Structure 1
Amino acid sequence: MSIPLMTWPTMTLSILLIVLSLVLTAFILLHKSRGGGLSDLFGGGMSTAMSGTSSAERMLDRLTIIISLLWLACIFGLLVLQRHAG
């Protein structure tokens, strides 16, 4: 009994999922703290009053949403490929 190798769509989506996971993590860490979260509970909430969002922040928000939607699409794609493989 041999273990079948990954097909190229599964391998491609797996690699894309890993890359998107790293990019999404970086984008989430780049966001400015908005306060009121769990970090405030432990003394990390030393932020000033919220000011208007800059255009760079809005672009980062949009990119984070796009990357997260691509990440979800990769997961659903892998789910579909795994269901049809078995």
Structure 2
Amino acid sequence: MRMFLDILLVITSLLLVLLVLLHRAKGGGLSSLFGGGVQSSLSGSTVVEKNLDRITVFTGTIWLIAILGIGLQIKFSH
């Protein structure tokens, strides 16, 4: 179970980084400093933006569950 949670954590972490980078910058800040001010072809549709938001929230929830699971396993392992 611990190995599964570790693998799930790594996969969801990488996926979250990718999904956050796909989001369109909504107002200057650090994202525009690194080229986020350029509009990508994926962020042209509001349907795509809503689906990207849903996938990001779902992935973040799975990531949080994996973190909590690993923490509980560490706490109750002895």
Query: TM-score normalised by the shorter chain: which range applies?
Result: 0.7 to 0.9
**Structure showing the higher helix proportion among its residues:** 2
Aligned with 2:13 (options 13, 18, 21): 21
Structure 2 gaps of 5+ residues are 40-44
Structure 1 gaps of 5+ residues are 1-8
Rounded to whole Å, the distance in 2 between the matches of 1:28 and 1:64 is 7
Corresponding residue for 2:48? Answer: 56
Name which one, 1 or 2, has greater alpha-carbon Rg. 1
Kindly indicate whether the alpha-carbon contact (under 8 Å) linking 2:28 and 2:37 is maintained by their aligned counterparts in 1: no
TM-score, normalising length: structure 2: 0.79
Change (3 A) 1:58 1:17: same
Runs of 4 or more above 3 Å deviation: 44-48
TM-score, normalising length: structure 1: 0.72
Q: Percent identity?
A: 38
Please tell me the root mean square deviation across aligned C-alpha atoms, in Å. 2.4
